[in-house]
Amino acid sequence: MPSVAIIGSGPSGCYAAQALAKARPDVSITIFDALPVPYGLIRYGVAPDHQGTKAVIRQFERLFERQGVRFAGNVTLGRDVTLEALRDGFDAVVLATGLHDDLRLGIAGEDLPGVHGSGAVTRAWNGWPGAEAPAIGRRVVVIGNGNVAVDLVRLLAKTPEEMEGSDLVLPPGTGVQEITITGRSPAEAAKFDPVMLRELGKLTDCAISVQDVSSGEGKTVEALQALDGHAPEGARKRLTFRFGMTPARILGQTAVEGVEFTDGTVIPADTVVTAIGFDGARAACDAEGVVAPGLYATGWCRRGPRGTIPENRADAMAVAARIAADLPEGPGKPGFAPDCATGYDGWQRIDAAERTAAPEGRVRAKITTLAGLLALAKDGET
Tens-digit pLDDT profile for residues 45-66:
888 999 888 888 998 999 998 7
Long-range contacts: 56-59, Cβ < 8 Å, 24+?
Answer: 56/11, 56/309, 59/18
Quick check: is 133 in a domain?
Answer: yes
Quick check: is 313 in a domain?
Answer: yes
Quick check: is 288 in a domain?
Answer: yes
* φ, ψ of residue 260 in degrees (nearest 5): -100, 135
Indicate whether 24 and 142 sit together in one domain: no
Indicate whether 140 and 237 sit together in one domain: yes
Domains in the chain: how many in total?
Answer: 2
Indicate whether 18 and 134 sit together in one domain: no
Indicate whether 304 and 185 sit together in one domain: no
Q: What is the pLDDT of residues 177-189, one digit of tens each?
A: 999 999 999 999 9
Query: Which of 254, 278, 302 marks a domain boundary?
Result: 278
Indicate whether 116 and 247 sit together in one domain: yes
Return the pLDDT at 308. Answer: 73
- pLDDT-derived band at 379 (thresholds 50, 70, 90) equals confident
DSSP letters for 193-261: -HHHHHHHTT-SSEEEEE-S-SS--SHHHHHHHHHTT---TT--EEEEEE-S--EEEEE-SSS--EEEE
Q: In 3D, which of 139, 126, 103, 173 has the Cα closest to residue 272?
A: 139
- Pair type for strands 101-102 and 278-279: antiparallel
Residue 213: which CATH number? 3.50.50.60
Quick check: is 203 in a domain?
Answer: yes
Q: Could you tell me which residues come within 8 angstroms of residue 154 by beta carbon, excluding any fewer than 6 positions away?
A: 47, 49, 196, 199, 200, 203
- Pair type for strands 266-268 and 258-261: antiparallel
Question: Is 73 in contact with 342 (CB distance < 8 Å)?
Answer: yes
Indicate whether 109 and 96 sit together in one domain: no
Identify the DSSP state of 45.
Answer: T
Does residue 380 register a pLDDT over 70?
A: no
The share of the chain scoring above pLDDT 90, in percent, equals: 71
Indicate whether 190 and 253 sit together in one domain: yes
Does residue 382 register a pLDDT over 60?
A: no
Q: SS3 of 324, please? A: helix
Indicate whether 137 and 261 sit together in one domain: yes
Chain CA centroid to CA 170, Å: 16
Chain CA centroid to CA 4, Å: 25
Return the pLDDT at 381. Answer: 64
Indicate whether 305 and 363 sit together in one domain: yes
Quick check: is 233 in a domain?
Answer: yes
Does residue 278 register a pLDDT over 90?
A: no
Read off the pLDDT of each residue in 162-175 and give the average, rounded to a whole number.
Answer: 84
Residue 313: which CATH number? 3.40.50.720
Q: In 3D, which of 60, 305, 20, 37 has the Cα closest to residue 167?
A: 37
Indicate whether 252 and 144 sit together in one domain: yes
Q: What is the pLDDT of residues 68-79, one digit of tens each?
A: 799 999 999 999
Q: Residue 74: left if φ>0, alpha if ψ -120 to 50, beta else—which one?
A: left
Question: Is 165 in contact with 361 (CB distance < 8 Å)?
Answer: yes
Indicate whether 182 and 241 sit together in one domain: yes
Residue 133 belongs to domain spanning: 102-278
Q: SS3 of 37, please? A: coil
Q: What is the pLDDT of residues 20-44, one digit of tens each?
A: 999 999 999 999 999 999 999 899 9
Indicate whether 149 and 64 sit together in one domain: no
Query: Which of 261, 278, 295 marks a domain boundary?
Result: 278
Q: SS3 of 292, please? A: strand
Quick check: is 345 in a domain?
Answer: yes
Return the pLDDT at 211. Answer: 93
Quick check: is 71 in a domain?
Answer: yes
Quick check: is 382 in a domain?
Answer: no
Read off the pLDDT of each residue in 206-221 and give the average, rounded to a whole number.
Answer: 88
H helices present in the chain, as ranges: 11-23, 40-44, 51-54, 57-66, 83-89, 118-125, 147-157, 194-200, 219-227, 300-303, 309-326, 344-356, 370-377
Query: Which of 278, 300, 331 marks a domain boundary?
Result: 278
Q: In angstroms, rounded to a whole number, what is the distance separating the alpha carbons of residues 312 and 60?
A: 14
